[in-house]
Amino acid sequence: MKRLTALALMLAAAVAANATPSTQIWIPSTDIQKYNTFHLNFDNYVPVKKEANGSWKAPVSLIGPTMGVFATDKVQAEAGFDIIKAGLKTDSAPLYLHAKAATPEGFLGAGSPAFALGGYNFGTEKDATNQNIIYGLAAKTVGKLGRLSAGYFTGNDKVLLDENGKKANTGVLLSWDRTISEISDKLWAAVDYQGGESALGALSFGASWNFAANISVILGYDIYNNSKVAGADTYTIQLDINF
């Protein structure tokens, strides 16, 4: 049992980076890739210090496309996949799928929030990379304060575990984000939080700059809820390109 628990913890940590639908810094957002447009993301998560045993955790890198696949005036949808590499055994099954449908703010009448329902980290190796996370989100822009989002997720309880091998497959999703137009319309900032004691639980914050209409770079920092599972904090660099 101890061997199985250790293996499950290692596999969960290996895919700590999310296979990315349209996101904030770490968690999903209610944003949707526009219909028939193509988005490519390159994300890296690099540890800021050595582990307790004196070694460095391998950086986690991912690359993948997201495409808008459906659109009406009220409902849009996107789908895509990522290839995630973490320097561990799960690199032999690096493919992770994601999809999301969402409605815009005002969908249910003036003042109503945006809603999103989606899933991500659908890996291809049973009880290893198949975190199979399903989530729901609501988001509302509140004047100059920015946009506030809240939701909940649930995933595979055989993969998303804490350091003791106990289920850690559910939790809240929270975020704030805003274009910092007082400085530049190209500057955006966000803080987000994913609950739970698995490798996915984290508080993240960062900012992005649009270098062109279709190219932006996010610089962020991730503080994990459970360092015994996820390891040391990481900084993240995320390049996003729209075609």
pLDDT in tens, 111-157: 999 999 999 999 999 999 999 999 999 999 999 999 999 999 999 99
The total number of structural domains in the chain stands at: 1
Encoded tokens for 159: 């993969």
pTM of the model: 0.90
Encoded tokens for 124: 């291809």
CATH classification of the domain holding 183: 2.40.160.40
- The least confident of 1-5, 20-24, 173-177, 191-195 is 1-5
CA pair distance 56, 49, nearest whole angstrom: 7
The answer to whether residues 199 and 227 touch, using CB atoms and an 8 Å cutoff, is: no
Domain containing 169 equals 2-242
The answer to whether residues 100 and 78 touch, using CB atoms and an 8 Å cutoff, is: yes
What is each CA distance from 83 to 5, 147, 194, 223, in whole angstroms?
25, 30, 22, 23
The answer to whether residues 99 and 77 touch, using CB atoms and an 8 Å cutoff, is: yes
Encoded tokens for 67: 């495409």
pLDDT score of 11 more than 80 = no
